[in-house]
Chains A and B, each alone.
Chain A
């Protein structure tokens, strides 16, 4: 409870300076900027409205108006400037900027340098800890540079691409949309003419990339995905799978979109998820050494233990 009171106060102290320089900003837009609902924003404004300098006569209180769907704020001089950056805040942005600086061939290094210099100066002592956190984004500079060129020139690319879930190498033409990085790995996102859909390609699985003499022409329905929820989008047609996850396999519940998670008292997660292809799941179960157990479908579970037994036979080891 007290954590939420100070969190909310932090938000209010950031909100006041933001709104003061943006008089008349649409309520919805301001709410979006702060990652809250319009209703929560109105509650925040209602709270600001009754606060102010000692005396607390009408003239001392913060003035807030939002009746017409636009926000106006005044009489908040004491907190008109934002609170200086905290250590976590300074660190998150500084390390984020340095991470951008690692990107091979980033086009606007000048803007990055300027930003970093200003930010470090503004953060003062709060910037010190940022030297203790580093993110390495090393990737195949060559593939990345080619992808960037194709993106800039709006040209189609040809990819030779390894698909681990099917354990095969494929050939395809792709109109790139962007080059995102997830979990420290680079991906190419684009309209795949073979799948006739937007696909993500992990950069380290691209065996070969070639810029074609054809203009990229993704269809209107080709839109980039929101990757904040992870890389995989399940479909309702996929098979429902029920898994048990021991702690070493708990990451699976974060990594793949799960429909339901039950935390058992023995720290085992029971999760439900949708899988289009049993093969990757079978392989995942074999990789995770019993920390991931398939409860349903039982045929898949049987396949996993059959394959494990068959594999053990090659080592001439009796199961003891």
Chain B
């Protein structure tokens, strides 16, 4: 079924590329053998409309027009070869190697597939890449956050969206409304930058804190991206990863090496403990790593950090309690 459809679409594309003149629908029906199998005019009409749509979605420039400037009642179709084709371009072997490396930057799903397909198109000139020209430095980016695909598409299509978002300071969940401008990977995490309709200001959202479905709330193309916005600079200044606050912790002697590495000051505390100070930006992120040390690290200040650590540890205890009951139940 699917093979048959691919065959039909391929014949349609070839037929529309082969014609210089606009080709009337009936002529196309005769030219593409698979259309001959349509029993009724309606069946053909429906199939042809769908095919046209799908071919356009693939990026094939299917034009509608008339051959006669005076009588435009007879509508025809064609694909202009020069708009269809990738412009003549030849990459040198070392350039193709760089392109190969660039295509491997993407590790996941849609962009990885798009990158390797693009590379194959660019190799069509027949030149082979010279991989020897590369040094073993290979950047790779993951797009594993579930919110990446829909938010990337929203940025690309300039469509406003809404999504449930967990705030970093309070941990509270609210529905946000955003006109997305750009999507940025910063320190290994993805952020979307745009106009926040609720706050009426430019805001930055971390994709890993988008807690549910991203839905479009407007037409594609309706978002105006202002010129001259440096998305990365927005993320750098607005993200709470900028360490502008100070925390005081108690860490058991000879443990908490990961926290000590970040310390700005370490001094001996009570028997068996050291006290350390460190700079932080994201309360939840620091609370997460303090909680990871269990009884070997205690947050002293500030209060919101303490609260977050306590909340996390309590959640661990009650989650364990719940699954404990489930494990005992069958007896």
Contacts and interface: CB of A to CB of B under 8 A. Distances in A.
B138 interface: yes
Contacts of B30: 54
Given A86-B114, A304-B320, A312 B313 contact: yes
Contact of A111 (B1, B32, B89, B133): B133
A115 interface: yes
Contacts of B59: 83-84, 86-87
A307 B169 CA distance: 25
B10 A100 contact: no
A92 interface: yes
Query: Which one of A2, A132, A310 has the greatest number of beta carbons of chain B within 10 Å?
Result: A132
A307 B294 contact: yes
B76 to A, nearest CB: 14
B315 A108 contact: no
A219 B315 CA distance: 48
Given A111-B133, A135-B185, A312-B317, A89 B121 contact: yes
Nearest to B321: A305
A132 B86 contact: no
A232 to B, nearest CB: 14
B138 A181 contact: yes
A37 B10 CA distance: 21
Nearest to A112: B98
Contacts of B89: 118-119, 121-122
A121 B184 CA distance: 24
Nearest to B142: A183
Interface string B1-26: 11101110111011101100000000
A312 B314 contact: yes
Interface residues of A, number: 129
A92 B327 contact: no
A209 to B, nearest CB: 15
B316 A289 contact: yes
Query: Which one of A2, A148, A298 has the greatest number of beta carbons of chain B within 10 Å?
Result: A2
Interface string A210-233: 000000000000001001100000
Interface stretch (B66-74, B102-110, B195-203): B102-110
B44 interface: no
B186 A136 contact: yes
Interface string B295-311: 10110000000100111
Interface string A277-320: 00000111111111101010010010011011111111101011
Interface in B236-262: 250, 255-258, 261
Given A92-B111, A93-B103, A96-B103, A285 B3 contact: no
A54 B313 CA distance: 71
B224 interface: no
Given A167-B256, A301-B323, A184 B189 contact: yes
Interface residues of B, number: 124
B319 A293 contact: yes
Contacts of A89: 114-115, 117-118, 121
A78 interface: yes
Contacts of A255: 144
A14 B97 CA distance: 19
Contacts of B136: 151, 177-180, 224
Contact of A290 (B119, B121, B318): B318
A21 B126 contact: yes
Top 5 A-B residue pairs of the complex, sorted by shortest distance between their CB atoms: A178-B136, A184-B188, A96-B102, A290-B319, A21-B126
29 contacts: A5-B2, A5-B54, A12-B6, A20-B124, A47-B6, A54-B30, A82-B85, A84-B59, A99-B105, A111-B95, A115-B99, A115-B102, A122-B86, A122-B89, A134-B182, A134-B184, A148-B137, A178-B136, A184-B185, A227-B140, A283-B292, A285-B316, A287-B312, A290-B318, A304-B316, A305-B317, A310-B295, A311-B295, A311-B297
